[in-house]
């Protein structure tokens, strides 16, 4: 039996999908525990690229069953499109394979319209959300007026609830935000259609997960977003509305803390962020362009969900140490080491300077974080192409030193290093 958690250690897009895929080979159940289709997880197998937004990345393997957990907010239209696209590529997404927690909350067109309205209202202070209705859906959940996926088991109840929900939101959309009314009849019809297609997938997630654990099976919890997008521990208000941190896996799938075996923190060999908010190590100009890439490669730094260019900067070890405290990482998985090949020197942020003092945490107060400047240590770079390397000792010495430096500074062993997006472009370090 094992319960392992994959968590993003930065601001999302660290490469959680590719490590979920890697570890899914050994898993019996892979469950998404938070977020919704704001996530975009990429899995690359034999040159084929899969971009997953709601369905766990374990789906690309044939063995594990996949669960959309109770902590997730679910847009059924997006899910059905994703299921159809996978089915067309020969991936089994039938009800015996893909399960949906009855506790997951439904996203509706009203949530999406409200996301847009709220962002527009914020103007320059906008969060830069993915406009997928995530915040408004979690708002309804916290207000205890949300619509849970379990509703889909009863078509009549679905019709009544959706009708009431859209009618109520229409008042808000038109009277407060001056937006157009949504078509209640059309949306009710759509959701009845979704209910018919998805009701066979519904499960009680905690019963399923505990059944697996009781029978000695292996469960992998796939995080979405990243530690610094956590609604409590991230750079609030420039965060998402859920708990991407490892504790979110416990509430999101219904598991207690003593069940956890491994917590794998995924971090890029540098830092990226998409959307607004503070970023102490952010680069601009040619240095940023170098890390971001031009967009010609599929792995260049442009959002998987929105296509927006990602903001980029050097690796921030203050963030990774902070992420370790929040997630109790048992190991780190580093991605995109290959992108750093060819640099003369690689600066790494080792602490922040705040009001003339050195600090080793990410301040919760945004003003204070805004006053932080990154203190860098500069490591020598390496010129060699590392994409074909599969053993740590074959990496250029300076690349080895870079990795060792991260492990020492964060005080977490590095278990995996990836040197390209493909499933097999990974160096595993046996400890």
* Binding footprint of ligand GDP on the chain (CB under 6 A): 8, 12-18, 40-42, 44, 298-299, 304, 335-336, 338-339, 418-421
Asked whether position 38 contacts Mg ion by CB under 5 A, the answer is no
Task: Tell me whether residue 242 or residue 351 sits nearer to ligand IMO (CB atom).
Answer: 242
Cα–Cα–Cα angle for 352, 354, 359, rounded to 5 degrees: 50
Which range in 27-35, 253-261, 299-307, 356-364 contacts Mg ion by CB under 5 A? 299-307
**How far is 44 from 57, CA to CA, in rounded Å?**
11
Lookup result for tokens 């490590």: 19
Asked whether position 229 contacts ligand IMO by CB under 6 A, the answer is yes
**How far is 410 from 403, CA to CA, in rounded Å?**
11
**Least distance from ligand GDP to the Cβ atom of residue 334, Å:** 8
The site that binds Mg ion (CB under 5 A) totals a number of residues, namely 3
Query: For ligand IMO, which residue has the nearest CB?
Result: 275
Q: Give the alpha-carbon dihedral of 136, 182, 40, 322, to 10 degrees.
A: -10
Question: If we measure between CA atoms, which residue out of 4, 192, 204, 6 comes closest to residue 100?
Answer: 204
Pairing label, strands 48-52, 41-45? antiparallel
Task: Tell me whether residue 244 or residue 278 sits nearer to ligand GDP (CB atom).
Answer: 244
Residue 38 contact partner, candidates Mg ion, ligand GDP, ligand IMO, none, CB within 5 to 8 A by sort of partner: ligand IMO
Among 4, 20, 34, 38, binds ligand IMO (CB under 6 A): 38
**Least distance from ligand IMO to the Cβ atom of residue 42, Å:** 8
Alpha helices in 70-150 (DSSP H): 76-88, 109-122, 134-142
**Least distance from ligand GDP to the Cβ atom of residue 330, Å:** 18
Enumerate the β-bridge partners of residue 414.
332
Among 56, 254, 275, 313, binds ligand IMO (CB under 6 A): 275
Question: If we measure between CA atoms, which residue out of 84, 55, 77 comes closest to residue 68?
Answer: 55
Active site residue 385: no
Enumerate the β-bridge partners of residue 351.
375
Asked whether position 8 contacts ligand IMO by CB under 6 A, the answer is yes
Enumerate the β-bridge partners of residue 334.
267, 417
Asked whether position 240 contacts ligand IMO by CB under 6 A, the answer is yes
DSSP conformation letters of 238-249: SS-SS--SHHHH
Asked whether position 15 contacts Mg ion by CB under 5 A, the answer is no
Asked whether position 398 contacts ligand IMO by CB under 6 A, the answer is no
Question: If we measure between CA atoms, which residue out of 146, 147, 137, 155 comes closest to residue 195?
Answer: 155
Which range in 34-42, 162-170, 325-333, 354-362 contacts ligand IMO by CB under 6 A? 34-42
Among 32, 111, 132, 169, binds ligand IMO (CB under 6 A): 132
**Least distance from ligand IMO to the Cβ atom of residue 307, Å:** 12
Cα–Cα–Cα angle for 212, 218, 221, rounded to 5 degrees: 95
Question: If we measure between CA atoms, which residue out of 3, 13, 8 comes closest to residue 312?
Answer: 13
Asked whether position 222 contacts Mg ion by CB under 5 A, the answer is no
Choosing from 21, 28, 37, 41, which is the catalytic residue? 41
Which range in 23-31, 32-40, 156-164, 180-188 contacts ligand IMO by CB under 6 A? 32-40
Which range in 69-77, 255-263, 301-309, 332-340 contacts Mg ion by CB under 5 A? 301-309
Asked whether position 265 contacts Mg ion by CB under 5 A, the answer is no
Task: Tell me whether residue 150 or residue 252 sits nearer to ligand GDP (CB atom).
Answer: 252
Task: Tell me whether residue 85 or residue 354 sits nearer to ligand IMO (CB atom).
Answer: 85
Asked whether position 327 contacts ligand IMO by CB under 6 A, the answer is no
Asked whether position 79 contacts ligand IMO by CB under 6 A, the answer is no
Residue 218 contact partner, candidates ligand GDP, ligand IMO, Mg ion, none, CB within 5 to 8 A by sort of partner: none
For helices 155-171 and 109-122, give the axis angle rounded to 10 degrees: 20
Burial 99-137 (b: 16+ CB within 10 A, else e): bbbbbbbbbbbbbbbbbbbbbeeeeeeebbbbbbbbbbb
Question: If we measure between CA atoms, which residue out of 229, 334, 341, 333 comes closest to residue 293?
Answer: 341
Q: Which residues contact residue 388 at a Cβ distance below 8 angstroms, ignoring those fewer than 6 apart?
A: 419
Active site residue 210: no
Residue 278 contact partner, candidates ligand IMO, ligand GDP, Mg ion, none, CB within 5 to 8 A by sort of partner: none
Enumerate the β-bridge partners of residue 42.
51
Question: If we measure between CA atoms, which residue out of 264, 302, 312 comes closest to residue 11?
Answer: 312
User: Which parts of this chain interact with Mg ion (CB under 5 A)?
Assistant: 13, 40, 304
Catalytic positions, please? 13, 41
User: Which parts of this chain interact with ligand IMO (CB under 6 A)?
Assistant: 8, 11-13, 38-41, 127-130, 132, 134-135, 224-226, 229, 240-241, 274-275, 304
């Amino acid at each position: 039996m094992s319960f392992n958690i994959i968590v993003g250690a930065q601001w999302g897009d660290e490469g959680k999908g590719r490590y979920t895929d890697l570890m899914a080979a050994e898993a019996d159940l892979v469950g998404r525990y938070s977020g919704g289709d704001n996530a975009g997880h990429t899995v690359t197998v034999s040159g084929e690229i899969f971009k997953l937004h709601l369905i766990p990345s374990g789906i690309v393997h044939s063995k594990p069953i996949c669960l959309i957990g109770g902590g997730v907010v679910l847009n059924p239209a997006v899910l059905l499109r994703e299921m159809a696209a996978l089915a067309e590529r020969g991936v089994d997404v039938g009800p015996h394979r893909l399960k949906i927690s009855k506790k997951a909350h439904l996203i509706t067109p009203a949530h999406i319209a409200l996301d847009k309205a709220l962002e527009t209202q914020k103007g320059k202070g906008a969060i830069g959300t993915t406009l997928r209705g995530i915040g408004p859906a979690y708002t309804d959940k916290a207000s205890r007026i949300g619509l849970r996926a379990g509703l889909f088991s009863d078509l009549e109840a679905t019709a009544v609830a959706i009708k009431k929900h859209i009618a109520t939101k229409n008042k808000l959309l038109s009277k407060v935000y001056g937006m157009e009314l949504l078509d209640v009849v059309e949306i009710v019809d759509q959701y009845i259609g979704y209910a018919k297609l998805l009701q066979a997938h519904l499960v009680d997630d905690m019963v399923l997960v505990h059944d697996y654990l009781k029978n000695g099976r292996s469960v992998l919890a796939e995080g979405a977003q990243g530690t610094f997008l956590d609604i409590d521990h991230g750079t609030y208000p420039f965060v998402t509305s859920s708990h991407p941190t490892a504790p979110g896996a416990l509430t999101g799938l219904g598991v207690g803390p003593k069940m956890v075996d491994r917590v794998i923190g995924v971090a890029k060999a540098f830092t990226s962020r998409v959307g607004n908010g503070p970023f102490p190590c952010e680069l601009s100009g040619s240095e940023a362009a170098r890390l971001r890439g031009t967009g010609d490669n599929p792995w260049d730094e442009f959002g998987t969900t929105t296509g927006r260019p990602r903001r980029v900067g050097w690796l921030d070890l203050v963030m990774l140490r902070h992420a370790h405290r929040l997630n109790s990482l048992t190991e780190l998985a580093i991605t995109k080491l290959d992108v750093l090949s060819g640099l003369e020197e690689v600066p790494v942020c080792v602490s922040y300077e705040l009001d003339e003092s050195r600090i080793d945490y990410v301040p919760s107060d945004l003003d204070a974080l805004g006053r932080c400047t990154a203190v860098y240590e500069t490591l020598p770079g390496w010129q060699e192409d590392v994409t074909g390397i599969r053993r740590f000792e074959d990496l250029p010495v300076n690349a080895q030193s870079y990795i060792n430096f991260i492990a020492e500074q964060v005080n977490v062993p590095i278990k995996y290093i990836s040197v390209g997006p493909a499933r097999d472009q990974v160096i595993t370090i046996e400890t």
